[in-house]
Structure 1
Amino acid sequence: MDTAPRPSSGELTYRDATAADVDALVALVESAYRGDASRVGWTTEADLLQGQRTDPRGVAEVIESPASRLIVVERDGGLIACCQLEHRGDHAYFGMFAVSPDRQGEGLGKVIIAEAERVARETWGVHEMHMTVINARDDLIAWYERRGYRRTGKMTPFPYGDERFGIPQRDDLQFELLIKPLS
């Protein structure tokens, strides 16, 4: 895998994460989704889930997986976002997408997801991107729909009782599969 920073979209650089990035990536993901710090941005899940969103072991496993890439997005040498791409046969899976809460609302998300789609298409030749989103996240699902993702209605249960994924504050959480054709 190419790990050299590659300028794209103006000031942004993209590179593959390394083991040295694990702690910073965990902190970024946690800040975007959990706790009071996440409330600065709009992607917070703090009202739905408490506890952790990820942990160093989980991030390291993504980095080490030969079928996966964890892309680090930097601006002026500082970590501002990340996303995971995983090759799953005829499609790619998009996950672990986080933009620093103080950078949300600047249009970075749409630029980064477009780059992730390009990378998946060019790296693996896939023609479809899949992701799962908590069904209660109407605002987030609507954001993905504006980027060409469609709801499938296919649900998988939230892993209640497994605190590696957080402590649910509601009893009706599920993950919905969203799909986008990549041309």
Structure 2
Amino acid sequence: MQPLKYRLANASDVESLVALINQAYRTNTGSSWTSEQDIVTGDRINHQQLLESLNQQNFSLFVAEIVEHSESALVACVGLAFQHSSVEIGTFCVASDWQNQGIGKQVLAYAEQKAFAIFPTLISYEMFVLDARIELIQYYERCGYSKTACIESYPIHANVGQPLIDLQLQHMSKSIS
């Protein structure tokens, strides 16, 4: 596998990122195993939401690219939202054509390392995963995350799609040692 090149996302990436995020979360193509299309309908994010996220303090969105023949291809993204002594990892996806190649594990490791480099006083990494996504929860458990007792309602008010089944958000955490 070719090495990934990471950088902060910027406003010129918005169109590509909206397409990447919606494709990764809401379609089932390529070698995708992360699609939510059977449990959530509608876009995961729109241009306005992404622009607002990019302008938030304490939030950074990183893109991962593969450079081939002097051209770069956007293959993944991950967001870091800093909160006191923890960082929430979200807006994390890999383009379905690039899944099952270890990119997700590399991007997650990069996000954890980058978060700690930015705030070395962090004590934990946090994330929320749809409770119906058992295989994704198991993946994160293999990466050192644990389910907590915290379960939140699906954020219908956030305009991130409409659930087709009863969904909740499972909080997961990983201590920084």
| Pairwise TM-score range, normalised by the shorter structure | over 0.9
Q: Please tell me whether the aligned partners of residues 121 and 127 of structure 1 are also in contact (alpha carbons under 8 angstroms).
A: no
Structure 2 segments unaligned to the other structure (5+ residues)? none
Alignment RMSD (CA, Å): 1.5
Alignment of 1:71-150 (within 5 A): 71-76=62-67, 77-125=72-120, 126-150=122-146
Q: Secondary structure at the match of 2:35?
A: coil
Identity among equivalent positions (%) equals 35
Q: Please tell me whether the aligned partners of residues 91 and 128 of structure 1 are also in contact (alpha carbons under 8 angstroms).
A: yes
**Distance between the aligned counterparts of 2:62 and 2:56, measured in 1?**
13
Structure 1 segments unaligned to the other structure (5+ residues)? 1-8
Q: Taking structure 1 as the reference length, what is the TM-score of the superposition? A: 0.89
Q: Please tell me whether the aligned partners of residues 34 and 49 of structure 1 are also in contact (alpha carbons under 8 angstroms).
A: yes
Deviations 1:78-124 (A, max 9, x none): 10000000110110010000100000000111111011000011101
Equivalent residue number for residue 11 of structure 2: 19
Q: Is 1:176 aligned to 2:170, yes or no? A: yes
Residue number among 152, 160, 168 corresponding to 1:165 in the alignment: 160
Which 4+ residue blocks in structure 1 deviate beyond 4 angstroms?
A: none
Deviation at 1:159, TM superposition (A): 2.5
Residue number among 39, 64, 71 corresponding to 1:48 in the alignment: 39
Equivalent residue number for residue 4 of structure 1: none
Deviation at 1:32, TM superposition (A): 0.5
What is the aligned length? 172
Deviation at 1:40, TM superposition (A): 4.1
**Distance between the aligned counterparts of 1:120 and 1:81, measured in 2?**
17
Q: Secondary structure at the match of 2:159?
A: helix
Deviations 1:45-93 (A, max 9, x none): 0100010101111111221112110001000111000000011011001
